[in-house]
Amino acid sequence: MAARKKASASKRFQAGLRDLEKRLPRNLQSAVRDMRANLRVFQRQLERARLDRDARWQKIQTQMRRDIVRLLQRIEKALSPNAGRARARASTPRRKKR
């Protein structure tokens, strides 16, 4: 016996609604047809929102990685042996020229 490919829940639900539409009287068929159309629109909106969310998350993640790299570079620079000498010279007050 060959394995059958499983249909997605959305496709099975759509098929169920089509079947229901065929079984209903004419005056209710248009209501079910409208519900199916609205469901498809909602599914598209949901998918767009998911893609938007993923894109925003990716952008935030990239920015965070950049910020972490900059912070680590600043920490490494501050902890390097040459940093102490450079800082000592920079912190001495300068005299005014007359």
CB 17 within 8 A of CB 25: no
CB 32 within 8 A of CB 17: yes
Question: Higher model confidence: residue 85 or residue 34?
Answer: 34
Residue 18: phi and psi, rounded to 5, are -60, -45
Q: Is residue 56 part of a domain?
A: yes
Q: What is the pTM of this model?
A: 0.55
The mean pLDDT of 59-65, rounded to a whole number, is: 97
Q: Is residue 94 part of a domain?
A: no
Q: Is residue 68 part of a domain?
A: yes
End-to-end CA distance of the chain: 101
Q: Which amino acid is at 77?
A: K
Q: Is residue 91 part of a domain?
A: no
pLDDT of 67 strictly over 90: yes
What is the band of 64 on the pLDDT scale with cuts at 50, 70, 90? very high
Q: Is residue 70 part of a domain?
A: yes
**Count: domains in the chain:** 1
The Cα 56–Cα 94 span in angstroms is 48
Q: Is residue 77 part of a domain?
A: yes
Q: Is residue 33 part of a domain?
A: yes
pLDDT of 16 strictly over 60: yes
Domain range for residue 54? 13-81
